[in-house]
Amino acid sequence: MCCARTPAERHPSVRAVSQPAGDMLGKAIRQNVIDNVAKLASATPILSAAVERKKLRVVGGIYGSPTAGSIS
């Protein structure tokens, strides 16, 4: 059943951070960036080869806004 799954079952980033206590949202965001950097670095043979030859570096980042969550 598609809808019976928990968020941790649907999203690898949530599953990876769901065990330890702490800021679950922050950990999930960070893990999502890590997962997507790895996925992008190996997405195609061209990208994989460029990363391997150190011609390309895939990096991730998290942008924090001081007004995050507020509506103006």
Domain ranges of the chain: 7-52
68 has pLDDT over 80: no
Residue 35 pLDDT grade (very low, low, confident, very high; cuts 50, 70, 90): very high
Q: Among candidates 17, 26, 19, 20, which has minimal Cα distance to 69?
A: 26
**What's the pLDDT at 34?**
93
Global pTM reads 0.63
Residue 53 pLDDT grade (very low, low, confident, very high; cuts 50, 70, 90): very high
| Residue 27 CA: distances (Å) to CA of 4, 20, 51, 63, 68 | 24, 10, 26, 14, 17
Report, as an integer, the average pLDDT of 63-68: 75
